[in-house]
Structure 1
Amino acid sequence: MRFSFSRDWPPSLLLSLLSFFCSSPTGVGAFPTPVGLSLVARDTSSVNLLIDQDFPDPSIIQDTDGTWYAFATASGPRNIQAAQASTPSGPWSHLNQDVLSNTGTWTSNYSSWAPDVRMVAPGRYVMYYSGQLSNETAYHCIGTAVATSVLGPYDPAPTPFACPLKQGGAIDPAGFYDVSTGRRYVLYKVDGNAVGNGGYCNNGVAPFAPTPIMLQEVSVDDGVTKIGDAVEVLDRNQDADGPLVEAPEMFRVEAANGTATYVLLYSNHCFDSPGYTVSYATAASASGPYTRSPAGALIQTGDWNLTAPGGATAVDGEGYVVFHANCASGRCMFGAFFSMDGSAVVVGG
């Protein structure tokens, strides 16, 4: 699950702008070492611990009053966690409330992952999330819920937004508004790991299952009505990614000469292994084709003394990114400043 980018809604709204629990062998020694894994620590002042408790797959949004809100995967009694701050870099206050107490009749109302909140119109907020199926608890699918304020209450749709069960279901949704075209999209991962053949993140034994990242256009007005079919923008590469790619997020960067680069952020390898990373690919249009960064992972184990970083979301143009990494409490939220060097993303200066 994200690094310079365009705002999520139309400019008139002034809003701006990520993993899952898959099975895997026991013990760190059981995980393959990803290609190019570096254990060289970077300057720790470049990255800050923002929420010192379990807060996985964070997404972030600025509300109309200027307050920032972060949302995260279920932890403890809450289906979806929330926190707030005056700036993306904090200080952050964890909120003692469940912003999605009802995840929908199609779900188990338990084990909800990777929420993403977008304001698609004045007074209309949409939360995209991964919900566990009530009748097939081995699978998750993408749900949507709407509210009139950023902290809800959110009213879930009666059926999933995306649920390709034969391919393993779907997880890790993220919205994207393209300011250059006025079109709105939802990204998500087809969860092939749920139908894998065992091993590393349940997809380490051949034949390997695909885990494609999909791009679905939706109504610019409501954020949930589908327009056409979803298209694949990236899939796993056995050598580079191991058992999966997941946690997609997209942003658009416009250069001074008017050319644009679309950046697709994603994680690979297994979330509970040291191989988990934040990586990215670039394209000239939202639908691709995407080219993986030749530099490899953007943030990986060893960078800034982090372990298993992933689930990233970029905010505020070429400014700030939040993501999770392992900590004593589970997976805490961290943040870092970043910039663009041409089409290359640079974290921590």
Structure 2
Amino acid sequence: MRRPFPGRLLSLMAVAALAAATAGCAPSETSEAAPAPAPEEQNPTRVLDEEFADPDILQVGDTYYAYATEGNRKNVQVATSEDLLEWEQLDEDALPELPSWIIPGKTWAPEVTEVAEGQFVLYFTGTNFQPTLQCIGVATATDPAGPFTVVGDSMLVCPEDEGGAIDASTVVTDDGLNLVWKNDGNCCDKDTWIQTAPLSADGLALTGPPQKLIKQDLAWEGDLVEAPTVVQRDGGYVLLYSSNDYGGRSYTVGRASAPALEGPWEKSPEPFLSSDSFGGDRYIGPGGQDLATAPDGQVYLLFHSWDAAVTYRSMHAEPVEWGGAELSLTDG
């Protein structure tokens, strides 16, 4: 695990400030006054103390790969681990080249799926040139660490009338591979829907129309839901999602369940994880979550949380447990 030295931290602060100033579709709360969480040495769940937001976890053999939103001069960051708790950040950019129809500077929320042995597909959020919206692109590689190469000459999902699309993830059902995402409606006073559509076997094309699953309708969700994570469990499905403003304490992780991917979905009335969890002294704005199981069988929720000064988002691993189809926090 690497720790940022003072010069490194100043650089991260500058990057965070620039991101807050240019993130056109999401309001920022980075100036929000908030109680600081416990000092770093008292936070037992921080596993990568770097700018490493929106982590996606993929296991290949005995190695776990974590992919994160752009930072540290990379479009897509990558780290590896053998146990989900000790991570090494790689020097290479997993997506080193962007095509001319993507505006650089906002490559967010990566999701990597192994569609066949040795065949990896990366779904990423980027800023489309025309229309100028955040949309979902797709890239491929034969190594989980990359480099990934963008496929095609346009975005995979880019609904102009819905404000674009961001935060792709995948889930396998009995019928095959499916893409799950959020339309970026909060950029333009529209509802935000978590949506899904079936994918081709190679993961490179949608093969059916989108279906809407949930939208923002609870007070603590603010004006958006995003960052979906769907898992099949005990004959049904569990959806974890992030909500509200990513830039401060109001960002939360919500939970919903359904008997089938298309629904009907029932939300839990309260957040699954928030800045108020654990007495309010551990996290600031937890979100961008994924689930993974360690070699010893322990399930972890991996996600980002702001540092005490709200200048960068590091990766955390919070132990959780399944009780049938119910997921719960286990620590404190």
The TM-score by the shorter chain falls in which range? 0.7 to 0.9
Offset from partner CA, 1:65-97 (integer Å, 9 cap, x none): x111100000131100000011122x1011111
Tell me whether 1:88 sits opposite 2:84 in the alignment: yes
Pick aligned residue for 1:287 from 262, 265, 284: 262
Offset from partner CA, 1:197-229 (integer Å, 9 cap, x none): xxxxxxxxxxxx20111101112x201221210
Q: Name the residue aligned to 1:23.
A: 27
Q: Name the residue aligned to 1:227.
A: 207
Q: Name the residue aligned to 2:60.
A: 63
Provide closer, same or farther for how the CA distance between residues 252 and 46 of structure 1 changes in structure 2, counting only shifts above 3 A: farther
The separation in 1 between residues aligned to 2:43 and 2:198, in whole angstroms, is 36
Offset from partner CA, 1:292-317 (integer Å, 9 cap, x none): 014x1111003241110000000128
Q: Name the residue aligned to 1:343.
A: 325
Tell me whether 1:73 sits opposite 2:77 in the alignment: no
Partner of 1:166, secondary structure, is: helix
Task: Give the share of equivalent positions with the same residue, in percent.
Answer: 30
Provide closer, same or farther for how the CA distance between residues 99 and 183 of structure 1 changes in structure 2, counting only shifts above 3 A: same
The separation in 1 between residues aligned to 2:298 and 2:64, in whole angstroms, is 17
Offset from partner CA, 1:272-309 (integer Å, 9 cap, x none): 12110111100001111110014x11110032411100
Partner of 1:96, secondary structure, is: coil
Matched pairs, number: 298
Q: Name the residue aligned to 1:301.
A: 275
Tell me whether 1:116 sits opposite 2:111 in the alignment: yes
Provide closer, same or farther for how the CA distance between residues 231 and 76 of structure 1 changes in structure 2, counting only shifts above 3 A: same
Partner of 1:87, secondary structure, is: coil
The separation in 2 between residues aligned to 1:97 and 1:58, in whole angstroms, is 16
Partner of 1:250, secondary structure, is: strand
**Pairwise mapping of residues 172-251 of structure 1 onto structure 2 (< 5 A)?**
172-178=167-173, 181-196=174-189, 209-219=190-200, 221-237=201-217, 239-251=219-231
Partner of 1:227, secondary structure, is: coil
Provide closer, same or farther for how the CA distance between residues 26 and 144 of structure 1 changes in structure 2, counting only shifts above 3 A: closer
Preserved CA contact (<8 Å) 1:325 1:332: yes
Provide closer, same or farther for how the CA distance between residues 265 and 112 of structure 1 changes in structure 2, counting only shifts above 3 A: same
Partner of 2:272, secondary structure, is: coil
Gaps of 5+ in 1: 1-18, 32-38, 197-208, 255-259
Tell me whether 1:330 sits opposite 2:330 in the alignment: no
Preserved CA contact (<8 Å) 1:125 1:150: yes
Give the AA of the match of 1:320: Y
The separation in 2 between residues aligned to 1:303 and 1:314, in whole angstroms, is 18
Provide closer, same or farther for how the CA distance between residues 82 and 228 of structure 1 changes in structure 2, counting only shifts above 3 A: same
Tell me whether 1:274 sits opposite 2:274 in the alignment: no
The separation in 1 between residues aligned to 2:112 and 2:29, in whole angstroms, is 33
The separation in 1 between residues aligned to 2:299 and 2:178, in whole angstroms, is 23
The separation in 1 between residues aligned to 2:134 and 2:53, in whole angstroms, is 17
Partner of 1:77, secondary structure, is: coil
Partner of 1:54, secondary structure, is: coil
Pick aligned residue for 2:148 from 154, 159, 163: 154
Partner of 1:229, secondary structure, is: coil
Tell me whether 1:321 sits opposite 2:321 in the alignment: no
Preserved CA contact (<8 Å) 1:167 1:191: yes
Provide closer, same or farther for how the CA distance between residues 26 and 145 of structure 1 changes in structure 2, counting only shifts above 3 A: closer
Report how far residue 238 of structure 1 moved: 5.1
Q: Name the residue aligned to 1:54.
A: 51
Partner of 2:208, secondary structure, is: strand
Q: Name the residue aligned to 1:16.
A: none
Provide closer, same or farther for how the CA distance between residues 26 and 267 of structure 1 changes in structure 2, counting only shifts above 3 A: closer
Report how far residue 253 of structure 1 moved: 1.2
Q: Name the residue aligned to 2:7.
A: none
Report how far residue 109 of structure 1 moved: 2.8
Preserved CA contact (<8 Å) 1:245 1:269: yes
Report how far residue 26 of structure 1 moved: 7.0
Report how far residue 63 of structure 1 moved: 1.1
Preserved CA contact (<8 Å) 1:68 1:85: yes
Report how far residue 165 of structure 1 moved: 1.5
The separation in 1 between residues aligned to 2:122 and 2:48, in whole angstroms, is 21
Instruction: Give the superposed CA RMSD.
Output: 2.5
Bigger relative contact order, structure 1 or 2 (CA pairs below 8 A, ≥6 apart): 1
Preserved CA contact (<8 Å) 1:263 1:281: yes
The separation in 2 between residues aligned to 1:46 and 1:343, in whole angstroms, is 28
